[in-house]
């Protein structure tokens, strides 16, 4: 008789966005006349940039002829894309990253979820609280998190690093020493950013205690302030302690197209073993690469034309974030984020918890957001709204909230 991985049974409830989707479907079925606006899930709404579309068409045509047809991609991804990435995201920022340290993938979520496979089960994981749920849940599935306490909504073997108004949503170094540290800046869900000096402290700390930082840079394109690092490799010493995840989802609208990459510097070692060689082995065994067509589309993002067009999309979403931020502020809410991030983190006033506020907003303004508690205990009392909607819907949603 087969046996299941019982770690899956430990996962509480359903995945956050599935729970939200269910509530919205039920509400819409009961109130078919209401126009519900979602500023909840972090999906984009703008079509792909013209330069990306042209590259896609060109690559599709290449597939139609025997001379230019492409089959399996190279394990790490096509060199044309890895070179464009290095030039556009690292060399231009003074970061020492080489093309063979880039692993092209079909997005950051899989890589963030899969990376924990490289580490033994007795590694201690530290996460920000609130946090993008994938980091914790993937470790739960692996059996690295101990037991769940439904009262505190925490795992016994996870170090939670509260991110609150008090620390401007940037965690302090933990008292207990972790082995694996997940950091995500600009942050989902709080919309906060980390300065280079603050991130340098984390890099120094990780090198000192022998920890690995798993740095999620999915939102770096939204950085608008000068002192905020776009990559952890802008910090000295990061090559020996950090893995970095990137996504084409939020900077170029690839959520449905799927492309991302992970950086593992060859200097990142446990004894003689490089994490780079382990991830290469894993990639070779379990993954057959992002499609050629999509990698060509990714390359187009780094052309002058592609850059200008995708940055215009980012600016569009940031204008939405500003509309939300300013509108809610006018309505008397305390709001955070929205400056280097498409996410606005609203503090709920009064006695409602974040799921109660979710219901209140859905029922009274027909607006959907994400309850902060879904991201961890320190998210309780907060609510996430995103700038990824259309301009029209964003303006309407904010007007509705202001009228409550
Ligand atoms: C912090 C963070 N990392 C990664 C991802 C997933 O990115 P991708 O679409 O590349 O899988 C998301 C998506 O919302 C995210 O918020």
For ligand 1, pick from 112, 221, 387 the residue to mutate: most ligand atoms within 8 Å of CB.
112
Query: Per residue in 26-61, pLDDT tens?
Result: 999 999 999 999 998 789 999 999 999 999 999 999
Location of each CATH 3.90.1150.10 domain in the chain: 12-43+306-403
Minimum mean pLDDT among 40-54, 202-216, 247-261: which range?
A: 40-54
Q: Is the CB of 260 under 6 A from ligand 1?
A: yes
Q: What's the gap in Å between 15 CA and the centre of ligand 1?
A: 14
Query: Per residue in 152-173, pLDDT tens?
Result: 999 999 999 999 999 999 999 9
Query: Per residue in 179-208, pLDDT tens?
Result: 999 999 999 999 999 999 999 999 999 999
pLDDT exceeds 90 at position 18: no
For the whole model, what pTM was predicted? 0.97
Q: Is the CB of 387 under 6 A from ligand 1?
A: no
Q: Is the CB of 187 under 6 A from ligand 1?
A: no
Confidence of residue 17 (pLDDT cuts 50, 70, 90): confident
Spatial distance between the Cα atoms of 222 and 201, rounded to a whole number of angstroms? 23
Spatial distance between the Cα atoms of 163 and 130, rounded to a whole number of angstroms? 7
Q: Is the CB of 42 under 6 A from ligand 1?
A: yes
Average pLDDT, rounded, for the chain = 96
Q: Is the CB of 16 under 6 A from ligand 1?
A: no
Q: Domain 12-43+306-403 maps to which CATH number in 3.40.50.2020, 3.40.50.2300, 2.60.120.1310, 3.90.1150.10?
A: 3.90.1150.10
Q: What's the gap in Å between 109 CA and the centre of ligand 1?
A: 5
Element containing residue 227 per DSSP (H, E):
none
Nearest atom (ligand 1) to Cα of 109? 11
For ligand 1, pick from 132, 138, 187 the residue to mutate: most ligand atoms within 8 Å of CB.
132
Spatial distance between the Cα atoms of 45 and 391, rounded to a whole number of angstroms? 10
Confidence of residue 14 (pLDDT cuts 50, 70, 90): low
Location of each CATH 3.40.640.10 domain in the chain: 53-304
Q: Is the CB of 109 under 6 A from ligand 1?
A: yes
3-state secondary structure of 368: strand
Question: What pairing do the DSSP bridges indicate for beta strands 269-270 and 242-247?
Answer: unpaired
3-state secondary structure of 393: helix
User: Burial, 274: exposed, middle or buried (Cβ in 10 Å; 0-12, 13-18, 19+)?
Assistant: middle
pLDDT exceeds 90 at position 209: yes
3-state secondary structure of 107: coil
Q: Is the CB of 105 under 6 A from ligand 1?
A: no
Percent of the chain with pLDDT over 90: 96
User: What was the pLDDT predicted at 19?
Assistant: 86
Give the pLDDT mean for 351-360: 96
In sequence order, the 6+-apart residues with CB closer than 8 A to the CB of 341 are 186, 187, 188, 191, 192, 193, 219, 222, 321
Q: For the range 276-284, what are the long-range contacts, defined as Cβ-Cβ under 8 Å and sequence gap of 24 or more?
A: 276/101, 278/118, 279/103, 279/115, 279/118, 280/75, 280/76, 280/103, 282/114, 282/117, 282/118, 283/75, 283/76, 283/103, 284/75
Say if residues 94 and 121 touch (Cβ distance below 8 Å).
no
> What architecture does CATH give domain 53-304?
3-Layer(aba) Sandwich (3.40)
First-last CA distance in the chain: 57
């Amino acid at each position: 008789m087969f046996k299941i991985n019982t770690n899956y049974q430990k996962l509480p409830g359903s995945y956050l966005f599935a729970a939200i989707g269910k509530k919205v479907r039920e509400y819409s079925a009961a109130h078919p006349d209401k126009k519900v606006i979602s500023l909840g899930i972090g999906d984009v709404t703008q079509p792909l940039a013209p330069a990306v579309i042209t590259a896609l068409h060109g690559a599709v045509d290449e597939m139609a002829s025997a001379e230019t047809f492409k089959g399996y991609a190279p394990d790490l991804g096509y060199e044309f894309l890895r070179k464009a990435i290095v030039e556009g995201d690292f060399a231009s920022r003074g970061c020492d990253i080489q093309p063979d340290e880039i692993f092209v993938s079909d997005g950051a979520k899989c890589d963030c979820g899969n990376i924990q496979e490289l580490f033994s089960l007795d590694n201690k994981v530290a996460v920000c609280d609130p946090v993008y749920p994938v980091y914790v849940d993937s470790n739960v599935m692996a059996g690295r998190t101990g037991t769940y306490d439904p009262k505190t909504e925490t795992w016994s073997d996870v170090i939670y690093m509260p991110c609150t108004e008090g620390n401007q949503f940037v965690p302090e170094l933990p008292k207990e020493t972790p082995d694996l540290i997940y950091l995500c800046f600009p942050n989902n869900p709080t919309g906060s950013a980390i300065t280079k000096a603050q991130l340098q402290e984390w890099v120094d700390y990780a090198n000192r205690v022998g920890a690995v930082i798993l740095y999620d840079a999915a939102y770096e394109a939204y950085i608008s302030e000068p002192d905020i690092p776009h990559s952890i490799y802008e910090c000295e010493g990061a090559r020996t302690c950090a893995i970095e995840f990137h996504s084409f989802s939020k900077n170029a609208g690839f959520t449905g197209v799927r492309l991302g990459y992970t950086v593992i510097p060859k200097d990142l070692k446990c004894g003689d073993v490089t994490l780079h060689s382990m991830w290469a082995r894993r990639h070779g065994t379990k993954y057959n690469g992002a499609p050629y067509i999509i990698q060509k589309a990714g390359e187009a993002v780094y052309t002058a034309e592609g850059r200008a067009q995708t940055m215009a999309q980012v600016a569009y979403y940031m204008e939405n974030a500003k509309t939300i931020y300013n509108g809610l502020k006018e309505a008397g809410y305390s709001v955070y984020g929205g400056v280097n991030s498409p996410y606005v983190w609203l503090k709920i006033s009064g006695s409602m918890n974040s799921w109660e506020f979710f219901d209140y907003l859905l029922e009274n303004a027909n607006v959907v957001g994400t309850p902060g508690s879904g991201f961890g205990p320190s998210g309780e009392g907060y609510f996430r709204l995103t700038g990824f909607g259309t301009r029209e819907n964003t303006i309407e949603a904010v007007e509705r909230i202001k009228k409550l």
